[in-house]
Amino acid sequence: MQAKIVLMTAAALILVACGSTPQRSAPAAASGGYLAGDGPDANVPANIDATPDAVPRAEPLHRYANRPYKALGKEYTPLTTVGTYKERGIASWYGRKFNGQRTSIGETYDMYAMSAAHPTLPIPSYARVTNLSNHKSVIVRINDRGPFMHDRIIDLSYAAAHKLGIIANGSAEVEVESLAPDAVISPVAPIEPVQSTPLEAPVTSAPAAAATVAATVPPASPPLTAATPATPATEVHNNVYLQLGAFKTQTSAQQFMAKMQAKLGNIPQKLAVHHQDGLMRVRLGPYANANEARDAADKLHAKLGVKAFVSLK
């Protein structure tokens, strides 16, 4: 599935393609679960698994493709900050039907390049996509808008979907993490099963059919503040935090934290930078428990423009 933004004038922005594409057929072994008329090319490169991942780098955001827009009656407000988004949901892919057509930023779609379409991530920007069933991970460049149907959160190029092992089924549950240009790209550790909780986004930025989920992925790290006295298991432990972002350098983390603090204003929780595993993690807390932290994440999403996830240590 693909969206094209036709730039008529500096004051006009028209979104086409994704809103009018045929509906994706039900996944099946014969069709691969892709849209009718779409699918793999007749001459798939033999070494497609050797296609190198996209390499995050600083790029200016597209002048028009990051403005608020409507598709299929839904309103979307693209993010303008990279490296602050992490979400779980269903990924799909698009192939020969759209190969050679223009993407939302005017580039030619190449189904054998490591690219993807996303409703709200800044474009161009970069993201790591991990297949939660087999733990395979790729880095893609976001250069298109979509998908807007069938409860999908990202549409991958054929090459990216092939490397993740989702071509046959047509879709898979994945984790999408936005990457800053200075992000540290490290191997993905095996992902333990976690309980996903729906994260209700504001109307202006909710993907169509609202089927995305925010998973509580607890990275191992010590609390930001001094440990509280030992308490019974039924009482508050004050070791639950919300992670808002992770950066390679202290400068990037401090700059991001300053922006978040300006939006937060005066709140009981403390915003601080915590250094762990070579990354500067910007965290907010502590909270009494994970449920309280998740409730806070729901409310902060609209206020901060980022999706925080719960850190239990």
> What pLDDT digit, counting tens, does each position of 141-176 carry?
999 999 987 778 999 999 999 999 999 888 999 999
The pLDDT tens digits for 176-224 are 999 999 877 765 544 444 333 343 433 333 333 333 333 333 444 444 3
Torsion of the alpha carbons at 30, 36, 38 and 42, rounded to the nearest 10: 40
C-alpha triplet 82, 84, 87: angle, nearest 5°: 115
d(CA 2, CA 116) in angstroms, rounded, equals: 9
The CATH code that applies to domain 216-311 is: 3.30.70.1070
DSSP designation for 162: H
Quick one: tokens of 74? 């839904």
Return the DSSP state at 205.
G
Token duo for residue 9:
């004038």
Q: Which residues pair with 246 in a beta bridge?
A: 281
| Measured distance CA(213)–CA(310) in Å, rounded | 13
At residue 298 the predicted structure's pLDDT band, cuts being 50, 70 and 90, is confident
Task: Please tell me the distance from the alpha carbon of residue 35 to that of residue 27, in angstroms, as a whole number.
Answer: 9
Strand order in the sheet with 279-287: 270-276, 279-287, 240-247, 309-311
Assign 3-state DSSP to the chain and report helix, strand, coil percentages, each to 5: 15, 30, 55
Cross-strand pairs, 178:
127
> Does residue 20 surpass a pLDDT of 50?
no
- Apex CA 169: angle with CA 164 and CA 174, to 5°? 45
Contact criterion met (CB below 8 Å) for 112 and 50: no
Number of H helices, E strands in the chain: 3, 16
Q: Confidence class of residue 15 from pLDDT cuts 50, 70 and 90?
A: very low
Task: Please tell me the distance from the alpha carbon of residue 234 to that of residue 230, in angstroms, as a whole number.
Answer: 11
- E strand residue ranges, the chain: 4-9, 12-16, 69-71, 74-76, 86-94, 115-117, 125-131, 137-144, 152-157, 171-179, 196-198, 213-215, 240-247, 270-276, 279-287, 309-311
pTM for this one?
0.53
Domain 4-214 has CATH 2.40.40.10: yes
- Spell out the domain ranges in the chain: 4-214, 216-311
Residue type, 82: V
Average pLDDT over the chain, rounded to whole?
Answer: 74
pLDDT value at residue 4: 39
Q: Give the pLDDT band of residue 41 (cuts 50, 70, 90).
A: low
Strands 213-215 and 279-287: unpaired
Q: At residue 182, what is the residue type?
A: D
pLDDT surpasses 50 at 277: yes
313 pLDDT band (50/70/90 cuts)? low
Nearest to 149 by CA among 65, 206, 72: 72
